[in-house]
Structure 1
Amino acid sequence: MASHPSPVSPVDERPRFGPLVLLGLQHVLVMYAGVVVVPIVVGAGLGLPQSQIADLVSVDLVLAGIGTMLQAFGVWKFGIRMPLVVGAASNGIVPMVLIGSTQGLSTVYGSLLVVGVVWVLIAPLFSKLLKLFPEVVTGTVITLIGLTLIPVGLKLIAGSAPSAHNYGAPANLALAGFTLALIAVFYRVFRGLLGQLAMLIALTVGAIVGWLTGLGSLSGVGHGPVFGLLRPLHYGALHFDIPSILLFLVIVFVLMVEASGQGLAVGQVVGKKVGPRDIANLLRVDGLLTALSGVFNGFAYTTFGQNIGLVALTKVRSRYPVAVGGMILIVFGVVQPVGRVIAAIPQPVIGAAAVATFAALTVSGIQLLSRVDFNQTGNLVIVMLSLGVGLIPAGAPDFYQQFPFAAQVFLKSGVATGTVLAVLLNLLFFAARKRRPEEPLARREPAAELSQS
């Protein structure tokens, strides 16, 4: 009897070249703002001239592209081989500015080199904690990631400073609303490839309308260098300072918790089991990119969740469009006018797309939680408290401002605090019973139930 070849996993399917490039560009547009904001904020916080900030953006795009390709393709023990993107971590902004302004960027990059190497080495140990993430915890984390990211899109639409005179300008809200309406209409009308590219088409139309109505401008596209190249050790020989390294190690712990959640989230969305080895491979990429940043003047890097919602929305679960997206990021970093066109897309348009994709990720978490038995008090408490505490930084950014700085580094990451709390509550309610929290009570014997009373 002839054996039939095993079907190809949706993650490993290869779309045709044309759709592949367009789908890859769509992933880039969804996460682009998150990539470039870190070098811009760090550069401004350190008082760097515009030319050096542009160099930081260029380096960031190239390193993010390399990391994204590694996560999608996988090389040896580096990369989860899933549709995940990599970018500079916003958690690293404060320590970079703090250390950079007092001890110089040479100390910042010396610290990043050390913690990046440590990150790679401890990735296999950290990944063994995966057994602490049953369905109720994973669903909570995915939902929390989506809910935490939605305000990021809202800030792109309305502005980040409520005191600014143009905060919530009706024109910006109208452009974002128009873009959201386009997304809904295109997903309703288009089928096949056009349906998968509905987000990209809506972004393009929204950007054109924004430019025509004066809410964005292409005037700066022709200014500046055509090519940007990595310049190793641009800020001088590396300097190693123990307190600075320890501060960044705290950041690394937060990023490892967050990135593990992203790996579990994408596994649920694409329908592929994610194990400890996969998480270790994912974390090694983040560590490698952070170590390379010490030499090439980059940042602390992490695996993003921005595009997971897009995967859920488009139903294109292949990792190859994301790999192409990594190549596009490298092109944007090297051929700078191309990147400047993307950067010129009006922020309300990008914000509208971000809100839609992050909301789609939230729905994925809710779908996973729908399989959890909430007749069990423990499951209800895990989700209730983890979401409530995890959303504090998003709803009240200054909530922890009276805490020591080292504590704020952790507490201000809602995903990290919510994830750790969910894990601890799961251990509190279910570890002693040695059963999965999603296991229905009806499956247990009455005598066993009485024995727990």
Structure 2
Amino acid sequence: MTETQAQGLDASRPEDGHLGIFANLAYGFQHVLTMYGGIVAVPLILGQAAGLSPADIGLLITASLFAGGLATILQTIGIPFFGCQLPLVQGVSFAGVATMTTIVAAKDGGGLPAVLGAVMLASLCGLLITPVFSRVIKFFPPLVTGIVITTIGLTLMPVAARWAMGGNNNAPGFGSVANIGLAGMTLAFVLILSKVGSAAISRLSILLSMIIGTIIATFLGMADFSKITEGPIFALPTLFHFGLPSFGAAATISMVIVIIVTLVETSADILAIGEIIGTKVDSHRLGDGLRADMLSSLIAPIFGSFTQSAFAQNVGLVAVTGVKSRYVVACAGLILVTLGLLPVMGRVIAAVPASVLGGAGLVLFGTVAASGIRSLSKVEYANNMNLVIVATSLGFGMIPIAAPQFYEHFPAWFSTIFHSGISSAAIMAIALNLLFNHLKLGNSDQQSVFVAASERILRYQDVAGLHEGDYFLDGQLYDAKGKPVQIVHDAH
């Protein structure tokens, strides 16, 4: 075990381990690389929907990096009543993309100022209702958290696949053998470095594999660094660059629904990261995390950004690397703030090919799902409805993934909530857990045939072969004198 690992294990909480400034920066940079594609996607989509110029879209991206960095520092370091002090990277939430795009394109106008105003008011509402969410911790046993963690990983798999294919559906070569091959090489380097490298190399396998993948892509002509020198090197964020926010009732109501979804997903992420690193998350800590989320979302529009939430892919990075320190993620926040002030650095990171991200993402997101399965393995399934709860919730969460248009004809508020596989699975798991494990009135004495415990059967000759005083210990049969009794496999 390395010295830095020992320091982390000696801490009273695993997330409080100090790894040293260089390790913090290296692992923090790995977090930034992992979530960079996701954090710039939302401003890109909204900027294009609003018809902004490339320069203004660049400002949206810069604002999102800056706001995400501030939110990450608040969440990891924390101040009284704000911040769960867990290794969670914050950034622009995907939950509101569809709603915000609709507001931008609304016939009654409003544009980005209407979006920013709706985000601010909805976040204020979310800040007021966080006590409700923070007190439901008892309704998140391993049964529920395992379902949610598994769904997070499975929901992110299409993102990894799209990255591996090239990232942009409309770009030439999307889904080509070259793109997928580059993703495969990146994945191979992750596995090789994890197997043959030292502890330090293994923990940095994702970052090193991305660097190697980018170098290979450069030699193959699949990486474009031509735009790095375009634009300013340093730029301070401009307050209300897109105009003062405007406040509309309809836009605010639709964003409140998005905020509720964000609260559900953030609760799941906080509980997931607590489970992964092995630390206690109670209602107070959950409430502090949710308040930090809402405060960040309330402030972000001032800089020209949108709702903030934890990034699920970085939960996977914590799981796959085993680096639990929140100070690593705080350094990631500092890097994000720096990138928000140095657009040229953001352009360097943007040059990492999407296929490289896809190869690494396959491991990251799969690790999240595997962590959830590990939690579900601890659940008791005999003579209860837990298996049906798991099956139904996972199936419900996969509907938006298997059929993205499934809720197309439902009311907008309904599709906003259930179009997210994570929130769909979370809502179903919580509801069924309440119905079958808390509200037991009406439960049948004869459980469902799907979950009834199998009957135990022992052959007579097996029992007849036992002697008085025989006992089992750690899978070995011993006689009354403590001598092991040989057990042979049936020849037939």
Does TM-score exceed 0.5, indicating one fold?
yes
**How many angstroms does 1:159 deviate by?**
4.4
| Structure 1 equivalent of residue 19 of structure 2 | 15
| Structure 2 equivalent of residue 311 of structure 1 | 318
**Of 126, 139, 142, which residue of structure 1 is paired with 2:149?**
142
**3-state SS, counterpart of residue 56 of structure 1:** helix
1:373-403 deviation per Cα after TM superposition (whole angstroms, max 9, x unaligned): 2224411011101111101111211111111
**How many angstroms does 1:121 deviate by?**
2.0
- The answer to whether residue 41 in structure 2 is matched with residue 37 in structure 1 is yes
| Structure 2 equivalent of residue 64 of structure 1 | 68
Matches within 5 A, 1:199-348: 199-348=206-355
1:124-159 deviation per Cα after TM superposition (whole angstroms, max 9, x unaligned): 222112211111111010000111011111111114
1:381-429 deviation per Cα after TM superposition (whole angstroms, max 9, x unaligned): 1110111110111121111111122211111111101100001111111
Equivalent residue letter for 1:262: D
Equivalent residue letter for 2:390: V
Equivalent residue letter for 1:174: G
Structure with higher Rg: it is 2
- The answer to whether residue 364 in structure 2 is matched with residue 353 in structure 1 is no
Give yes or no for contact 2:167–2:354 (8 Å, CA) kept in 1: no
| Structure 2 equivalent of residue 450 of structure 1 | none
| Structure 1 equivalent of residue 122 of structure 2 | 115
Q: How many angstroms apart in 2 are the aligned matches of 1:153 and 1:142? A: 17
1:193-222 deviation per Cα after TM superposition (whole angstroms, max 9, x unaligned): 222111111110001111111111111111
Q: How many angstroms apart in 2 are the aligned matches of 1:184 and 1:7? A: 30
**How many angstroms does 1:293 deviate by?**
2.5
Give yes or no for contact 1:19–1:193 (8 Å, CA) kept in 2: no
After superposition, the CA RMSD in angstroms is 1.9
Give yes or no for contact 1:211–1:346 (8 Å, CA) kept in 2: no
**3-state SS, counterpart of residue 302 of structure 1:** strand
**3-state SS, counterpart of residue 234 of structure 1:** coil
Q: How many angstroms apart in 2 are the aligned matches of 1:159 and 1:392? A: 25
Give yes or no for contact 2:27–2:204 (8 Å, CA) kept in 1: yes
Q: How many angstroms apart in 1 are the aligned matches of 2:383 and 2:353? A: 47
**How many angstroms does 1:185 deviate by?**
0.2
Identity %: 37
Matches within 5 A, 1:370-389: 370-389=377-396
| Structure 2 equivalent of residue 423 of structure 1 | 430
Q: How many angstroms apart in 2 are the aligned matches of 1:273 and 1:220? A: 46
Consecutive unaligned residues in structure 2, runs of 5 or more: 1-9, 442-450, 454-492
TM-score by length of structure 1 reads 0.92
| Structure 1 equivalent of residue 482 of structure 2 | none
**3-state SS, counterpart of residue 307 of structure 1:** helix
Q: How many angstroms apart in 2 are the aligned matches of 1:112 and 1:66? A: 17
Give yes or no for contact 2:110–2:246 (8 Å, CA) kept in 1: no
Which stretch of structure 1 is more off in the superposition, 225-234 or 255-264?
225-234
Q: How many angstroms apart in 1 are the aligned matches of 2:207 and 2:319? A: 15
1:141-185 deviation per Cα after TM superposition (whole angstroms, max 9, x unaligned): 000011101111111111467687523100001100000000000
**How many angstroms does 1:369 deviate by?**
0.6
Equivalent residue letter for 1:195: S
| Structure 1 equivalent of residue 82 of structure 2 | 78
Number of equivalences: 433
**3-state SS, counterpart of residue 428 of structure 1:** helix
Q: How many angstroms apart in 2 are the aligned matches of 1:267 and 1:350? A: 25
**Of 52, 56, 64, which residue of structure 2 is paired with 1:52?**
56
TM-score by length of structure 2 reads 0.85
**3-state SS, counterpart of residue 87 of structure 1:** strand
Equivalent residue letter for 1:112: V
**Of 27, 31, 50, which residue of structure 1 is paired with 2:31?**
27
1:101-123 deviation per Cα after TM superposition (whole angstroms, max 9, x unaligned): 33222222121111122222221
| Structure 1 equivalent of residue 192 of structure 2 | 185
**How many angstroms does 1:7 deviate by?**
4.7
| Structure 2 equivalent of residue 104 of structure 1 | 111
**3-state SS, counterpart of residue 91 of structure 2:** strand
Larger helix proportion of the pair: 1
Give yes or no for contact 2:75–2:293 (8 Å, CA) kept in 1: no
**How many angstroms does 1:188 deviate by?**
0.3
| Structure 2 equivalent of residue 3 of structure 1 | none
Alpha-carbon distance change, 50 to 165 in structure 1, aligned in 2, over 3 angstroms: closer
Give yes or no for contact 2:384–2:452 (8 Å, CA) kept in 1: no
Alpha-carbon distance change, 193 to 165 in structure 1, aligned in 2, over 3 angstroms: closer
Equivalent residue letter for 1:250: I
Equivalent residue letter for 1:191: S
Give yes or no for contact 1:12–1:319 (8 Å, CA) kept in 2: yes
**How many angstroms does 1:237 deviate by?**
2.6
**How many angstroms does 1:314 deviate by?**
1.2
